[in-house]
Structure 1
Amino acid sequence: MKGPDEFDDRGRPGGPGERPRIPSPRAAAEDHGPLPNPPAPANSPEDRGPEPPAASATRPVPASPATPAPPHHVLKSLLGAWALAACSAEETAAVEAHLTDCASCADEALRLRDAVGLLHPADSLDLDPLLRSRVLEGCLGRRPARIPVPEWATPYDAEAAKLDALLRDMGEAEWRAPVRLRWFQGERPVERETTVAGVIGHLMTVDGLVATTLGLADPLGRTVPGALGPTTRTEKYWQAVGAEPSRLATHGPWRDQSHALIRTVSFAGDSAGELSVPYGAFRLPLCDSFLDRAFECWVHAGDIADAVDYPYQPPAAGHLHQLVDLAARLLPVALAERRRAGLAAPPRSLVEAGAPGRTLHLEVEGNGGGHWYIALDSPAALGSPDRTVAHIALDSAEFCQLAAGHVAPEEAVAGQHGERDAIRDVLSATASLSRL
């Protein structure tokens, strides 16, 4: 058995089978002076000692052979793709490294890069969806016609061109889309449903009244009496072509007829405006008839645009003023006809020849607006501002919708004051201007 001196300083026995003993306490470090600075952390890079090399590091690693650069002709063939930024990362690096050493390829790359800049402008190449409408509006509003068109025929010329542009954009299926036509008859609104092709046939048939006055062919043929009104002529046309006329039977003939009308009155001159056009129960001078046809062309084009969900713009301000002026000039006659039918109040006073009688001040605001003085007591008299007994203020679009029969007289948004009977009668007379 070993003695105490035969154990090492960790208390381990000196030989096998010996029991370890607990070593005696050691002296504290503070008993021998100040404490030394603490050692740096083991993971500190500056204080960590050199690590022994790994076993694998002791074996030499063979160097990987460098990838050879592609030959000159391959790199030159990639210049076009590099200029278009179509190369892979490896190809881009190889080409750019080659350009630093090859002057001829560097010059070629510079020329290709400049050419790519011309092929790719900064602005988007997508066309503005409103570009066609703006170009068409500019052409219709600014380009002078080759043949001088009379001023009273220019609204019809412009509206027919706009409607033709709408019809050209429509597909074959859209020509069968249902269209609801609305107007006022007496005191009640009337509706009639047809198709887009049926609307164009209606326009062509009523335009035939103007065509026969100018000596052109009637779309209904020679067997139809010329004294028939617009509604009767339209019904006969729809009966002749069936319930759903086709695009070929309406678009081309209507367009050719409108061109012929404009061409004929352009060569005839302003004197042709005095010709009388029969509308069945009434007649209009040719100049007013062209304005009437422009108004109906615009109104029914709006009906078609609503049916096929297509944006449609009102006439230009100057043309719209002519259309509003026609409606205002027709109001005294329309008011007198309603009195004869018992639908309007009788005149308040007898009007002598040339005397103005009572007057209503019609104020139309917005594009194409103006001021009109409507004679209330006689269709032959002229309205006078001094005899004004009532005043109506309407927006130009609202007034045209009322004259087209699309708005009821009692629903018209109007600033009004004065005699209530006169205001009601004039609004109802405006709605009575509408027809099929």
Structure 2
Amino acid sequence: MTEDDHEGVRDLLAAWAFGTLAPEERQTVADHLAGCASCAAEAERLRETVRLLDGPAGNGADGQPDAAPTADLYAESAQDLSGVLSAALRARPALPRVAGHAVPYAAAVAGLKALLPEAEGRWPTPVVHDWDVHATLAHLLAADEPLAGRLGIGPRVPGTPVEDEDEDEGEGDVEAGGEADWVGAWNRRTAEVIAHEHGRTPAETVADWSAQAAALLAAPEAHDPELAARATTLMGVRLPVAEHFLVRAFETWIHTDDIGRALGLAVPPPPADHLGQLVRLAVRILGLALGPTAPPVLFAVTGGEQWVLGSEDEPVAAELTLDPVDFCLLVGGRYAPEEVPRGTTGDEAAVRNVLERAASLSWL
């Protein structure tokens, strides 16, 4: 066996663990594992990673693990668990089991599922606000409720979920929520859910959060872009259902990162294509929040797109560049406007206006 043969099989191991190899490749891997102890050990570790992400998986008659139901959505979320895993699966085209607009949420859910076993015995660890790990997960259980309810999925916690009046407006309309009535209702509901879940075991909270997330991903709107194009108002913001799935992905990742930091574990950012979807949504809402009279600022994300925010009738007053992850953390309320790393030229007041407005959109 040459070194090239050895490395070639190692590149196949992640797809082997997820059950996505072609028959001839499965046989190649099986033959190699029979005589290579190091690759056999790596294969077993990757199989355990799959088990962690998606529960116990059985083996087929040839010893190849059965394909995990949503494994193709999980690969990028697992990159902190295995470099080989993410590299190999990135090299193979994914076949998502949900439509593109729901893939970032599915991946974010998978990432949190992969992290939660690390909280065993550490659930009271402080995370953000006055929440511990248990309360942070309970918050996500509450935060997913409005979209679940709009899609006909009943609440898993007793009480009164937050509901918005859903006016009949055109598809794609966006309204920044401001200090609407939903804020008080939302604060009461999230406190209610956290109090309820603190009376239960963390395992019970995990089970209910996982079941609700699975129900969202099983909803017709997660699979049919035409159904998901319908606009609906949730948490004071009117967006197509497809973009409400992106909001759920955004918040799930933010709180996964919160929990990881609290536990001393690095959580990877969303994959580049998912991150791009989140950035574009946040930029669109930021532009509407700034309005058409704000001093125009040319805003760009490092290595990506750029937009003019503010007035279209005046010359650009300043330029602002942010790393896409830092921009998302700013919008998610994890950076103060004056602390976020940035590149700027031009009118500092115009830049400050954009940064402060972005930080105010912490509903995301």
Distance across 2 between alignment mates of 1:413 and 1:225: 35
Map 1:178-257 → 2, pairs under 5 A? 178-180=126-128, 192-221=129-158, 223-227=160-164, 228-229=182-183, 230-242=186-198, 245-257=200-212
Distance across 2 between alignment mates of 1:267 and 1:281: 21
Cα RMSD for the two superposed structures? 3.1
Give 1:371's aligned residue.
Answer: 306
Report the CA distance between 1:208 and its aligned residue: 0.8
Query: Which of the two has greater helix per residue?
Result: 2
8 Å Cα contact 2:119-2:263 kept in structure 1:
no
TM-score of the two chains, using structure 2 as the length reference: 0.67
Give 1:163's aligned residue.
Answer: 112
8 Å Cα contact 1:206-1:233 kept in structure 2:
no
> CA 1:197 to 1:372, structure 2 compared with 1: closer, same or farther past 3 Å?
same
Report the CA distance between 1:327 and its aligned residue: 0.9
Structure 1 spans left out of the alignment, 5+ residues: 1-117, 181-191, 337-345, 349-357, 378-382
Task: State yes or no: 1:402 paired with 2:358.
Answer: no
8 Å Cα contact 1:409-1:428 kept in structure 2:
yes
Which has more radius of gyration?
1
> CA 1:128 to 1:397, structure 2 compared with 1: closer, same or farther past 3 Å?
farther
Report the CA distance between 1:293 and its aligned residue: 0.8
Report the CA distance between 1:323 and its aligned residue: 0.6
Report the CA distance between 1:395 and its aligned residue: 1.3
Report the CA distance between 1:295 and its aligned residue: 0.8
8 Å Cα contact 2:142-2:193 kept in structure 1:
yes
Give 1:271's aligned residue.
Answer: 226
- SS at 1:373's partner residue? strand
> Runs in 1 of length 4+ with deviation above 6 angstroms?
none
> CA 1:121 to 1:321, structure 2 compared with 1: closer, same or farther past 3 Å?
closer
Distance across 2 between alignment mates of 1:411 and 1:300: 20
Task: State yes or no: 1:411 paired with 2:359.
Answer: no
Distance across 2 between alignment mates of 1:398 and 1:288: 21
> CA 1:219 to 1:422, structure 2 compared with 1: closer, same or farther past 3 Å?
farther
One-letter code aligned to 2:156: P
Distance across 1 between alignment mates of 2:149 and 2:134: 22
Distance across 2 between alignment mates of 1:427 and 1:238: 31
One-letter code aligned to 2:359: A
8 Å Cα contact 1:209-1:277 kept in structure 2:
no
Deviations 1:176-217 (A, max 9, x none): 22212xxxxxxxxxxx12121211111111111110111111
- SS at 1:173's partner residue? coil
Distance across 2 between alignment mates of 1:236 and 1:143: 43
Distance across 2 between alignment mates of 1:276 and 1:140: 34
Task: State yes or no: 1:172 paired with 2:120.
Answer: yes
- SS at 1:434's partner residue? coil
Give 2:255's aligned residue.
Answer: 300
Q: Which has the higher contact order (CA 8 A, sep 6+)?
A: 2
> CA 1:128 to 1:395, structure 2 compared with 1: closer, same or farther past 3 Å?
farther
Report the CA distance between 1:124 and its aligned residue: 8.5
Distance across 1 between alignment mates of 2:288 and 2:158: 32
Map 1:17-416 → 2, pairs under 5 A? 123=38, 127=42, 132=49, 133-134=81-82, 137=86, 141=90, 142=92, 144-145=94-95, 147=97, 149-167=98-116, 169-170=117-118, 172-180=120-128, 192-221=129-158, 223-227=160-164, 228-229=182-183, 230-242=186-198, 245-265=200-220, 269-336=224-291, 347=293, 359-366=296-303, 369-374=304-309, 376-377=310-311, 387-416=315-344
What is the total number of aligned residue pairs between the two structures?
278
Deviations 1:199-256 (A, max 9, x none): 11111111111101111112344644523454332122123334x6531231111111
Deviations 1:247-292 (A, max 9, x none): 1231111111111111114665111223334334333321111111
Distance across 1 between alignment mates of 2:347 and 2:300: 16
- SS at 2:361's partner residue? coil
Deviations 1:379-399 (A, max 9, x none): xxxx58x84222101112221
Distance across 2 between alignment mates of 1:139 and 1:254: 30
Give 2:176's aligned residue.
Answer: none
